[in-house]
Chains A and B, each alone.
Chain A
Amino acid sequence: MAEESDRDAKAAWVLRVLSVDVTRAAAAVRTEESGATKDLPGLSAWQAARAAAVQSLQQLEVAFRAMKEPEVPKAIILVRAIRAQLTERPDTMQKVQELQRFIEQDQTVSEAEIPNGFGFKVSLRAPLLAALSQLRPAP
């Protein structure tokens, strides 16, 4: 138990400092090794990073709903818009390029990553771009 607790603490530190979710990445690797997605190189990694991002966005959406502020409805729409932009299966080069441009340049993504006072960290850009770089779709 102590060993497992120590591993969780390290994973938490990595997630906090380096913005990398080691637990999810390990799960994604296992999924890829199991042959779940064999059709596109790097697709499993992308889907894992995307799942983590979607979870963070859902977490942020729940936090927003708890606030009694007038900007909440518009903010939730923007959060969902981010989630909708994250294509689950970018199987063409064009889709990859559009995804990359959105993640790198869209201001909603930047502001969603601003350290918040809800007690959790939203990390989108770094893990998504890292996973996206592994994708090798057909041109």
Chain B
Amino acid sequence: MCKEPKKTEPATDIGKLITKSHPGGQPAWYYVGQQQGYRNLCGKLNNCGNLQRYVHPTRFPPLQQRLLTLWQNVTAFADVTFTDKTATQNFEEPLADYSAEADELAQDILAESKKPPKLHPKLTLNANAFDVLCGTVINAAGLGSVQSGAPLLFFTGAAWQPSLKIVHVGAMDLQIGCAATEDFLPMSGFVRIIGRLPPRPIPKLTLPRVTFGTALTAPLLGLAPQIFSALAFEPADLIVQPGQDNLHVIAPAIPGQFEANDAYFTIPVDPRPRTLTISNPTQTLTTGMQLDSALFGPNVDFGSGEGVISFIDPANGLLLAAGDAVPVTLGITGTSCFAAATSKTIQVKVTKGRPVIIWDLTSAAVCGEPVGPSLTATISPATLQDKLKYSLQPTDRWPDRAYCYIRVEFPGDEHFQPVFMEAKQVLVRNATEKQGADEMLNGTAWRRPDLGTPENTALQNWNGDAGGVKALGQKIVKAIANMTYAEVCRYLSAATPAPDGTRKSGGQDMWRWNNGLQVRVKEEGSDHSFGTEVNVEVVTVSGGFTTHVNQTAFKVMINGDAGARDPGKVVRPGGLSDAEWESYKSGAMRVDHIRCPKVPQVITWKLRDNKLTPKRNQVQRDLMTISCLGDAELTFQMNGQNKSREEFATFNFPGPFEYRLVVTAKATERYTGVAASVNVTPE
């Protein structure tokens, strides 16, 4: 509520005397107050003050300000105007304007008193914080809005402004606000402004057409050297991708001045032209060989960059003809980065190809049975398959001997050399022998030598060791039953020697058992020392007569050093320690202690799909498995290059040409070393 400003009493003697100078001794404002017009006006203003109590406080301040201003104007007018000490002047007319203003104010107060309270407007910001470049003039309305609809203003510390220029780098809280409206109160709040340095300007580049591999230079980009050196580029020096490539231009930040900036520009890049230069291949070319750039080794010059040689003649790179000066036309295909090269024709010398026969004798060989299933050799290239010739025909039957050789050959033609392969198939058993062997192993037919059985007398006298004889017999029978030639040879050669250190062929008296199965050396009556080769046969004896039923013969190497051929002389077998040698001479050594001769190692290539034509990029171990008899150490070669087991197993066959795979097994205590190879031609 606003009332008439209070008039204070004079404080100094000057004021007191001036007060007394008026008639009646009253101050000037007293006389003004006596004027009717002034009193009427004051009454209106007091009425306005009384009416304000009906106005809600939220609508009160502007009315109060108006009333206060009016009061001040009225009293100032009176103070200025009053000079007549008689105080008779009528202020009715000069105060007419103030009176009308008081009436209007009273009307406004009445109207305002009927309105509801003003509300606090809600401030809606477009974000919690705003990134603004330094130097930018921001408008508060762009940061958000107020419910009242009043324009947002910035408070700059001295005044409210509709816009503000951001000059500060970093975060700052700016006060924003708006004025009151008809229905809302004024509002004030803060908004976080984060001043950012402007991005460093990057010149607009107009890039010319370039070829792949063109170096970026200042003249190429049309930049001054100092600007070029101040910028960074990706790719840094070469245009990497032909076509409409993007050149990434990076402008590093300048502290306190610019932030880092980057831009992309389109640069048309053409494939790089090149010349294909190919000279004679570095290795012999043969018919059927799949040509590959690797065959030309360092004599292939693609010009630069990657590429794949395309063989125009022969179209698929497969050499079919043999002879001198065969024309081969080559080209190099275009890539995304390099253009296709001009084709070249060179004269190469093509020799006859060497086919590869693959033959895995895995089927059992039984005496008298047809050999047909075993004749399944394959030859690479497969076009020569029909030209294979076997020494046995599928309708032939396995011969009645311990082993036989089967030969398969390709006789050769105008493009391929003749090749052959021999395989040895061992024949050691039939049904009758195996039955006897099983009985012997189970002990049902075995009789101890110390029981005095006539059949065992000679054997018992031979070494006087019934347990050793039994063990020996079991091993021999087991070997026969398993029909493994190498095993039979080993156990026969490990027979307990005579007390004088020699091995005498005892004919039918050598090894004989009461089931009629007998192992004997065929050369009856001859002496054999270590290192000699004898023929041993297993026969069935029945009724005191030797009946050669299902006879099986072996060549047996009597264990011992090669030079130990002096009859009656005890020769130290190889590999025996001193203690073993003494035991050997005394006859106390058991057969298990005798070293066996080494037998050839066998490496088996087992094809998964029964063919040697893998698909391209097929790895070796998916094509075939390689095994050997023992745990020999294997080494691997691929086209003459040594490979580790893992490299060999994971090697894929990328190109359509022949690969030569060689596996070598080192000699072990039991096996001699051997190397086996196979040629593989991917499809």
User: B-contacting residues of A (Cβ < 8 Å)?
Assistant: 16-17, 60, 63-64, 67, 69, 71-72, 74-75, 78-79, 107-108, 111-112, 114-119, 121
Which B residues touch A67, using CB under 8 A? 17, 20-21
Contacting pair B22 A117 (CB below 8 A):
yes
Instruction: Quote the shortest CB–CB distance from B12 to chain A (angstroms).
Output: 5
Complex Cα–Cα for A117 and B21 (A): 5
**Chain A interface mostly:** helix
Complex interface residues of chain B between 1 and 26 (CB less than 8 A to chain A):
10-23
Which B residues touch A69, using CB under 8 A? 16-17, 20
Which B residues touch A71, using CB under 8 A? 13, 16-17
Q: Which residue of A lies closest to B26 (CB)?
A: A117
Which B residues touch A116, using CB under 8 A? 18, 21-22, 28, 85
- Whether A111 touches B11, Cβ cut-off 8 Å, given contacts A16-B83, A118-B85, is yes
Which B residues touch A115, using CB under 8 A? 18, 28, 79, 82-83
* 16 residue pairs A–B, Cβ–Cβ below 8 Å: A64-B17, A67-B17, A69-B16, A69-B17, A72-B13, A75-B12, A75-B14, A75-B17, A78-B12, A78-B13, A108-B14, A111-B12, A116-B28, A117-B18, A117-B85, A118-B85
B80 within 8 A of A: yes
Contacting pair B14 A79 (CB below 8 A):
yes
- Whether A111 touches B83, Cβ cut-off 8 Å, given contacts A69-B17, A69-B20, is no
Complex interface residues of chain B between 48 and 83 (CB less than 8 A to chain A):
79-80, 82-83
Instruction: Quote the shortest CB–CB distance from B15 to chain A (angstroms).
Output: 3
Contacting pair A17 B21 (CB below 8 A):
no
Highest count of chain A CB atoms <10 Å: which of B11, B16, B18, B20: B18
B27 within 8 A of A: yes
Which A residues touch B85, using CB under 8 A? 116-119
Contacting pair B13 A114 (CB below 8 A):
no
Complex Cα–Cα for A115 and B77 (A): 12
Q: Which residue of A lies closest to B32 (CB)?
A: A115
Complex Cα–Cα for A74 and B15 (A): 11
Complex interface residues of chain B between 153 and 192 (CB less than 8 A to chain A):
none
Q: Besides the contacts A108-B14, A116-B21, A116-B28, what 8 more A-B pairs have beta carbons closer than 8 Å?
A: A69-B16, A75-B17, A107-B12, A114-B10, A114-B15, A115-B18, A117-B85, A118-B21
Contacting pair A108 B79 (CB below 8 A):
no
Which A residues touch B18, using CB under 8 A? 111-112, 114-117
Instruction: Quote the shortest CB–CB distance from B270 to chain A (angstroms).
Output: 76
User: A-contacting residues of B (Cβ < 8 Å)?
Assistant: 10-23, 27-28, 79-80, 82-83, 85
Closest 4 CB pairs of A and B: A111-B15, A117-B85, A117-B21, A117-B22
Complex Cα–Cα for A138 and B23 (A): 49
Partner of A74, one of B11, B13, B23, B80: B13
Which B residues touch A63, using CB under 8 A? 21
Q: Which residue of A lies closest to B25 (CB)?
A: A117
Highest count of chain A CB atoms <10 Å: which of B15, B23, B27: B15
Complex Cα–Cα for A78 and B10 (A): 14
Q: Which residue of A lies closest to B15 (CB)?
A: A111
Highest count of chain A CB atoms <10 Å: which of B11, B16, B17: B17
Complex Cα–Cα for A115 and B78 (A): 10
Complex Cα–Cα for A3 and B172 (A): 67
Complex Cα–Cα for A17 and B13 (A): 26
Contacting pair A78 B21 (CB below 8 A):
no
Complex Cα–Cα for A111 and B13 (A): 9
Instruction: Quote the shortest CB–CB distance from A1 to chain B (angstroms).
Output: 26
Q: Which residue of A lies closest to B82 (CB)?
A: A115
- Whether A111 touches B10, Cβ cut-off 8 Å, given contacts A118-B85, A119-B85, A121-B83, is yes
Which B residues touch A119, using CB under 8 A? 85
Which B residues touch A111, using CB under 8 A? 10-12, 14-15, 18
Which B residues touch A75, using CB under 8 A? 12-14, 16-17
Which A residues touch B14, using CB under 8 A? 60, 75, 78-79, 108, 111-112
Complex Cα–Cα for A74 and B10 (A): 14
Instruction: Quote the shortest CB–CB distance from B596 to chain A (angstroms).
Output: 124
Contacting pair B21 A107 (CB below 8 A):
no
Instruction: Quote the shortest CB–CB distance from A61 to chain B (angstroms).
Output: 10
Complex Cα–Cα for A118 and B16 (A): 13
Which A residues touch B15, using CB under 8 A? 111, 114
Q: Which residue of A lies closest to B81 (CB)?
A: A17
Instruction: Quote the shortest CB–CB distance from B78 to chain A (angstroms).
Output: 9
Instruction: Quote the shortest CB–CB distance from B304 to chain A (angstroms).
Output: 81
- Whether A114 touches B27, Cβ cut-off 8 Å, given contacts A16-B83, A108-B12, is yes
Which B residues touch A74, using CB under 8 A? 13
Instruction: Quote the shortest CB–CB distance from A50 to chain B (angstroms).
Output: 19
Q: Which residue of A lies closest to B87 (CB)?
A: A117
Instruction: Quote the shortest CB–CB distance from B218 to chain A (angstroms).
Output: 58
Which B residues touch A60, using CB under 8 A? 14
Instruction: Quote the shortest CB–CB distance from B559 to chain A (angstroms).
Output: 129
Q: Which residue of A lies closest to B29 (CB)?
A: A115
Complex Cα–Cα for A17 and B79 (A): 10
Q: Which residue of A lies closest to B20 (CB)?
A: A69
Which A residues touch B79, using CB under 8 A? 115
Contacting pair A17 B23 (CB below 8 A):
no
Q: Which residue of A lies closest to B24 (CB)?
A: A117
Partner of B23, one of A78, A79, A108, A117: A117
Which A residues touch B11, using CB under 8 A? 107, 111
Which A residues touch B19, using CB under 8 A? 114
Which A residues touch B27, using CB under 8 A? 114
Contacting pair B17 A72 (CB below 8 A):
yes
Q: Which residue of A lies closest to B27 (CB)?
A: A114
Which A residues touch B21, using CB under 8 A? 63, 67, 116-118
Complex Cα–Cα for A75 and B11 (A): 11
Instruction: Quote the shortest CB–CB distance from B21 to chain A (angstroms).
Output: 4
Instruction: Quote the shortest CB–CB distance from B85 to chain A (angstroms).
Output: 4
Q: Which residue of B lies closest to A115 (CB)?
A: B28
Highest count of chain B CB atoms <10 Å: which of A72, A114, A118, A119: A114
Complex Cα–Cα for A69 and B21 (A): 10
Q: Which residue of B lies closest to A63 (CB)?
A: B21
Which B residues touch A112, using CB under 8 A? 14, 18
Instruction: Quote the shortest CB–CB distance from B53 to chain A (angstroms).
Output: 34
Complex Cα–Cα for A117 and B22 (A): 4
Complex Cα–Cα for A79 and B14 (A): 8
Complex Cα–Cα for A117 and B18 (A): 7
Which A residues touch B82, using CB under 8 A? 115
Complex Cα–Cα for A78 and B82 (A): 24
Which A residues touch B80, using CB under 8 A? 17
Instruction: Quote the shortest CB–CB distance from A78 to chain B (angstroms).
Output: 5
